Amino acid sequence: MRKFEALRSTALPLNRADVDTDQIIPAKYLKRIERSGFGQFLFDDWRKDPAFILNEGAFSGARILVTGANFGCGSSREHAPWALDDYGFRALIAPSFADIFRNNCAKIGLLTITLAPEDVEFLIARAEELPEAETIVDLESQTVATADGSFVRSFEIDPAVKRNLLEGLDAIGLT
């Protein structure tokens, strides 16, 4: 697992709550056992709509996903975090995450950040209005900030998860 380093990136605003793992990656793509190659299937059913946010060129290269509450609900498939990671996301920000999904993300080095609903709404609105604006995620200081410094919020994280992400330790590295 790669080490999580301070991240400065544009953010993709996915203004939807209760996004389940089947919406993140449909079941028809789960026959593969390797972890790579799933990014191309991320939000596959929604991407058929040309107006879907992931199809907008302004957000290509975004490494931060800002989304609604209860992200990753549904079945406990590990493929959902794999698809997000393979697509290029390094951090996910939402008011809440499904517990199993959050744990699966931590196992592969994908940082999940829980912020207050009003803070997530601000970040979504900002990304929609200013797609080129950067957001900074600093795991060491446990902060999310706008690049201009006008918005700074702290977040909580389990100390063991934080250490594993910062040091790039997965289950094998911990032994």
Tokens in use for 65?
A: 């996903």
Number of domains present in the structure of the chain: 1
Full DSSP string of 37-82: S-GGGTTHHHHTSTTSGGG-GGGTT--EEEE-SSBTBSS--THHHH
Q: Is residue 149 part of a domain?
A: no
CATH code of residue 28? 3.20.19.10
Q: Mean pLDDT score of the chain, rounded to an integer?
A: 94
Q: Is residue 157 part of a domain?
A: no
Q: Is residue 48 part of a domain?
A: yes
Contact 108, 35 (CB under 8 A): yes
> What's the pLDDT score for residue 174?
53
Q: Is residue 19 part of a domain?
A: yes
> What's the pLDDT score for residue 76?
82
Residue 36's domain spans which residues? 10-133
How sure is the predictor about 34, in pLDDT bands with cuts at 50, 70 and 90? Answer: confident
Q: Tell me the per-residue pLDDT of 57-116, one tens digit each, with 9 for 90 and over.
A: 999 999 999 999 999 999 888 999 999 999 999 999 999 999 999 999 999 999 999 999
Q: Tell me the per-residue pLDDT of 102-145, one tens digit each, with 9 for 90 and over.
A: 999 999 999 999 999 999 999 999 999 999 999 999 999 999 99
